[in-house]
Structure 1
Amino acid sequence: MLCVNEGIPDKLSLISCLKELSGRSGLGAGKRLHASIVHSQVKTDVAVSTALLGMYGRCGHADEAFRLFEHMTERTVVTWNAMISLSVRLGYVDHAQQSFQQMLNEGFIASTGTFVSTLQAVSGAATLNDGVRLHARIIASTLDSDLIVSNSLLTLYCKFGRVEQAQRVFDGMPQYSIVSWTILVTCYSQQGNWFLTFQIFLDMQTSGEVYDQGRYFAGESGEVEQQ
């Protein structure tokens, strides 16, 4: 990679290079860049450190990501979002929830990206209790009207088979997307309620949207841009 071969580029180019690295093939280049950054003027830059964090997450190197995060002298909401997101992606859902709580304890305000990633974490819990508490926090933050957050709430309740709660979330949404409709249709169909499945399907067609089950499954595992 050009960034690795030519040393440390400017800050924006460096961040761009780090964002391109992923998977096992990108880990070696990422580590070489990290080693160069340690001896550069941007070693304590929060944006660069956050980009490094994301790189280790995409490369599946959780231990290095956690170690880097602990040694950061400055963090932003984007940094916390990156940590929560990579923890969920790599299967450390308890760590994701702990990071969310620590973020709040340190006075940071949760964003759309924070809530979406944390909702993915609580979706893997044994019970819905954590999800209900998180939903209450979302309402208090006024981000319950955010389309992406609402779709994540729909997915949460659908995973636990709580159709009534999912319907209440849907009814309270100021706007819908094809993902919103698809999650709700899938939710009712998974419960075997074919009458309401068909009714919502017709409502969706009336709204001009087209059902796509792939959107539901993509929404379960998709990564939200950190905000």
Structure 2
Amino acid sequence: MGKVAELAAGHLKPVWHIVASNWTTIELSAVATAFGRTRDTGVIDRLAKLEVALYPFHLENRKSGSPRPEPETLDYQAFAWRQAVEAFFKSEGTATCAQMKAAEIYIAEEPRAIRTAYYKDRERSPPACSGGLRKAPEPVYPASALREGYVGAVIEGFGIVDAKMENARVLAAAPDRQFEEAVMKTMKSMKTMEWYFDEVQRSPDCVRTDNDRPGIIPFNFVRTGRAFVTTGIKAANPSTNLRTATI
């Protein structure tokens, strides 16, 4: 199965932008199979490149409430798999910090150039005002996953309405549903998720209500002597400027 996926991904790669959804699905399958077989840290770089390749789909203008394009959804899945792979290496004590950091820098810098080119002749929507959650969600590591030695990641999306985090939903998860359920249970238990805005904003025309362009919270389930979950708040969309925070 792994060789077939690798061959298919290689065959479609020259025209991937025409068949983006098919190629991405096959590429993710090939990456997951390769990781399961070799546990090679090179998978981190491969997933980072996949995320950047799919990034332009986040920029496409669309009417409020319209369905997200499938390649954008698959981009979240690639992000979830990269986070899950990194959780594995951290749990095993074989984390290559330099490689993980390089992937983060690459994902931060490359889209910046893509955005600049994309908006050169287009009008850009006002960014969301920067800020953060007053209290970060703290999901519990699933006991069954801990017993079985599973690690994973969940990508949670949300909007901001009237200084409250709303419409929380799972954008992607890897590899086990147990983690997704743990995150959703925590999110539902938080009756109010208040959002604060920074006193000083980079953009004076920033918006304080944005329910269409998802902000993102990645949850990493890692085992290092004791189980713990790291939670980060970061921006998925270039027009969404949210603070990154790790607990």
> Normalising to structure 1: TM-score of the pair?
0.32
Higher strand share: 2
Structure showing greater relative contact order (alpha-carbon pairs closer than 8 Å, 6 or more residues apart): 2
> Normalising to structure 2: TM-score of the pair?
0.30
Higher helix share: 1
